[in-house]
Amino acid sequence: MPCCVKVFVQMTSLGIYVQVPFCQTKCTYCNFHTGVVSSSRFAPYVSAVCREMKTYRDLYSAAGIELVPAISENATVDTVYIGGGTPSLLDPAHLKNILGTVRDSFRCDLAEVTLEADPETVEAQKASAWARAGINRVSFGVQSFSDAELAASGRIHRRADIYRALPILREAGISNIGFDLIAGLPLQTPGSWRESVDRLVELAPEHVSVYILEVDEKSRLGTELLKGGKRYSAGAVPTEDQMAEFYELAQTAFSAAGYHHYEISNWAKPGLESRHNLKYWRREAYLGFGAGAHSFSGVQRWANAHDAAGYVNAIHNGFLPVEQLERLTPEAALEEELFLGLRQLDGIDVSRIEKDYAVKLASRFDPLASSGLVEWNGPGVRLAPARLSVSNEVFVELLR
């Protein structure tokens, strides 16, 4: 080949998600498949996750997952998200091992490597080891600054842990820190919510997420609420209207503090939006490793089995325990474009979607625009910023 001819290989960016399904205690509102287990189970689990990564091509082929270019050699991993559960419970050597395996198994140009952490688990030595392993972003499950709410929800950390952990992380050189809050915890009042929002703004994390408590019968609190009981302070859960007010108060306070509201539940200092999570809403490819981890190749979606012990066993025996493997139909892909796209405050490009899917969409949005739930924005449409707390109404109408 003459030396002046350049070969252009199309590069696509890929996200990696690693699920760590272990916690110190079970929060009363939790409906995730996570467990409180002996720490002796961490090492075999990490070893299975690393083996899944190293052999993913063979495991996928055997499981009927197509190795499309978005998840094969042409892809460059630029984001890693280690979530859970409480992955900060793992020994830092385990996290180093996981990230080393990502680098060995994929072409990498890592821009954002996130670890979810409980503030109570943060120590100086651990934080330094996280930074040395390449973690440059920590997402804290703060949930509330009220000790009464944290205790009622079964959280292990307290307000003092948030104040103790933050400088430790900054000192370790981790400069991109996210705080999560939950609107609707038992015992939460307008005053205590205002306090949590104000204290958060004062600490100025780079990123903020606000989740509205969902009552799910798979959680202890949800079961209690559904039967009208009082355990877990179920009698003191704010009403749905109050939760919507809490959300709107946060919206106003974060915007006044200079945060960019870029997704229904997420705010960031400009330029520090979560690159990894944006892939979910933009329908870009990501591979999930570990028990219960979900993946998307652009063509197929699948998830690993939830049971951690069963997962370790399956990987040890050389097969991937895939629970749901689905090839998206054009109709399903279109629904995702609308449902995920509209979660972003910039909205969706209607003309692009009409072209890609050979559909007419304008008529579906006109009644929603007339009732003030969405607004036209040039060739696109977005949720009306003042009606975000009722965004579910829009999705119900659209998917009808």
Q: Tell me, residue by residue from 66 to 105, as one string, x for binding to ligand SF4 by CB under 6 A and - for no binding.
A: ------------------xxx-------------------
Q: 121 or 313: whose CB is closer to ligand SF4?
A: 121
Say whether residue 110 binds ligand SF4 (CB under 6 A): no
Using CB under 6 A as the binding rule, whether residue 357 contacts ligand SF4 is answered as no
Pick the closer one to ligand SF4 by CB: 23 or 46: 23
Does 27 contact ligand SF4 by CB under 6 A? yes
Strands 176-183 and 322-327: unpaired
Q: 311: Cβ–Cβ under 8 A, 6 or more apart, which residues? A: 45, 48, 290, 291, 292, 304, 305, 321
Q: Indicate which single residue of 14, 16, 20, 23 sits in contact with ligand SF4 (rule: CB under 6 A).
A: 23
**Does the protein bind ligand SF4 through residue 142 (CB under 6 A)?**
no
Question: Which residue do the tokens 């075999």 mark?
Answer: 44
Stretch that binds ligand SF4, among 29-37, 184-192, 298-306, 346-354 (CB under 6 A): 29-37
Cα 321 off chain centre by: 22
Comparing CA positions, the residue from 6, 133, 49 lying closest to residue 304 is: 49
Interacting span for ligand SF4 (CB under 6 A) from 28-36, 69-77, 297-305, 361-369: 28-36
| Number of other residues whose CB lies within 10 A of the CB of residue 133 | 18
Residue 32 binding ligand SF4, by CB under 6 A: yes
Count of residues touching ligand SF4 (by CB under 6 A): 10
Among candidate residues 236, 256, 243, the one with its CA nearest the CA of residue 181: 243
- By CB under 6 A, is residue 394 in contact with ligand SF4? no
Taking alpha carbons only, the member of 119, 52, 124, 44 closest to residue 86 is 119
DSSP assignment of 153-174 equals: TT-S--HHHHHHHHHHHHHTT-
Q: Is 211 in the site for ligand SF4 (CB under 6 A)?
A: no
**Other beta carbons within 10 Å of 26:** 14
Determine if the peptide bond prior to 85 is cis (ω within 30°): yes
Piece of the chain touching ligand SF4 by CB under 6 A; list 25-33, 161-169, 179-187, 192-200: 25-33
Residues within the interface to ligand SF4 (CB under 6 A): 23, 26-27, 30, 32, 34, 84-86, 141
